[in-house]
Structure 1
Amino acid sequence: MKTIASCVEEIIKNQPFIEEGLSRNIINYSALAEHVQPMIEKRLHKSVKTGAIMMALRRYNPPIHASATTKMQRILKNLGDITVRSNLTDFTFQNSPTLIRSHAKILEQITTDRRIFYAFTRGILESNIIISSSEKDKVITSFTQETQLDLQENLSAISINLPHDNSKVPGLYYQIFKRLAWEGIALHEVVSTTNEFTILVKDVMVDRAFSVMKNLKNETYF
């Protein structure tokens, strides 16, 4: 049976910015109660007083990762070097039995040149190749037998080195994505290894995105 408290919890969990605001005690409970009142009444099929909603909001306990943690602060302070690479092209190909052979062809041509940016990710149905635009024609030639689903140009990659224990801290990627979202920065692609995190954005957004990534080390967001 649904209650006011369960409805409040359901709504807040689907809106992480609100959840974090509650954990930091910077949300106006009265205003928030009025905001969610129609949603709760729709779920319960009856009228609900804002006072009852406010009580449920005050009793709500955000998860640990939504509030300040010493470990998270330490991880952010110890983020490593940031590298920016511009003039990139992103290819999307449909997966096929011959895709790996096509991939091997392009690798043979670029592995000796360390100046070339290259990233390959394989999903269940499709694969992506992010490469320096100077090598665009080589990819097109190597993948002539493959089905190209998309092609995006004028992209830039911002990579940041992560501390070695980053995988043990819940919420690290959330902090990065949150700041980018607040600044209105749309991510074209995300590429992650164990200790390195790369975002791909349009060239026009690279300066703002770089500023966000840089300030992660210097500001407190909790």
Structure 2
Amino acid sequence: MITISEEIHRIVMSTPFLEEGLRSGIINLSSLARKILPEIKKSLEKNVTESAMIMALKRYSDGIRGRAQKGSFEVEILDLTVRSNLAEYTFAASENIIKKQEKLIHDVSHQSDKFLTFTRGIYEVTLIISEEFRKNVDEIFKGERKISSFSNLSAVILRLHPKTVSTPGVHYSILKQLAWSNINVIEVVSTYTEFTVIIDNARIDTAFSVLKNLMMR
């Protein structure tokens, strides 16, 4: 049998920023209880009182605040770097695309300040590169099925402490700050201690400021 607590958890997890609001203690529990009470009643198919909802919400919010106090979302950013004027391409994966990746790497290897990343999924390959090399990409990958392309992008590269690899919630904490500032993340790329977010050039100053504040905490 589904409990009130389980239903609260489902609603919180499916509602952006609601968990963060409860963790921060900035949400009025009585108002929230009244708002979600009809949905809880419908799901449980039984009568649930507002007071029972408030008590369940209080237990839930106390629980997530307790987890936060244990430092599960601590982010230690060692350095921030910005790279602008980037382009992103996504192609369908194919038998020949690895050779074309090698060709592109060879062609741009003489540029010390180049930006180039490849990410290969099961069905797609995405590359992010300095815009000055767009002509190279168009020529080398001619004949490949292009799924999407974006230009006028920037990257914020965060160098993280190695311990963050085993720290739950680190990437969530970074992306949350950007989302709260209404900054759309077009792509993310990560290595062992680097986490890179790709955004529109127009939002780079705001994004850097937001992440700099996170770094200084």
- The TM-score with structure 2 as length reference comes to 0.92
- Are 1:65 and 1:170, in contact at CA under 8 Å, matched by a contact in 2? no
Contact kept, 8 Å, 1:118 with 1:131, in 2: the verdict is yes
2:187 to 174, 189, 205: 189
State the Cα distance separating 1:63 from its structure 2 match: 4.8
What is the SS of the residue equivalent to 1:127? strand
Structure 1 CA distance for aligned equivalents of residues 47 and 115 of structure 2 = 58
**Alignment coverage as a number of residue pairs:** 216
Provide the C-alpha distance between the structure 2 equivalents of 1:66 and 1:118, rounded to a whole number of angstroms. 38
Equivalent position SS for 1:197: strand
Shift of 1:143: 0.7
- Following TM superposition, by how much is the alpha carbon of 1:72 offset from its aligned partner in structure 2, in angstroms? 4.6
1:212 paired to 2:198: no
The answer to whether the Cα contact below 8 Å between 2:72 and 2:168 also exists between their aligned partners in 1 is no
Q: Which runs of 5+ in 1 are unaligned?
A: none
CA contact (8 A) 1:94 1:146 kept: yes
Alpha-carbon spacing, 1:212–1:64, altered in 2? closer, same or farther (3 Å): same
Distance, in Å, in 1 between the alignment partners of 2:124 and 2:180 is 30
Runs of 4+ in 1 over 6 A off after TM superposition: none
**Mapping of residues 45-194 of structure 1, within 5 Å:** 45-60=45-60, 62-63=63-64, 67-70=68-71, 72-73=73-74, 75-76=75-76, 79-194=77-192
8 Å contact from structure 1 (residues 155, 203) kept in 2: yes
Deviation at 1:27, TM superposition (A): 2.5
Q: Which residue of 1 aligns with 2:17?
A: 17
CA RMSD in angstroms comes to: 1.9
Structure 2 unaligned segments of length 5 or more: list them.
none
Q: 1:69: Cα distance to partner?
A: 3.2
Are the structure 2 counterparts of residues 51 and 179 from structure 1 closer, same or farther at C-alpha, using a change threshold of 3 Å?
A: same
Distance 1:68 1:24 in 2: 11
Alpha-carbon distance in structure 2 between the residues aligned to 1:65 and 1:96: 48
Judged with a 3 Å threshold, the aligned counterparts in structure 2 of structure 1 residues 65 and 199 are, in CA distance, closer, same or farther, namely: farther
TM-score, scaled to structure 1: 0.90
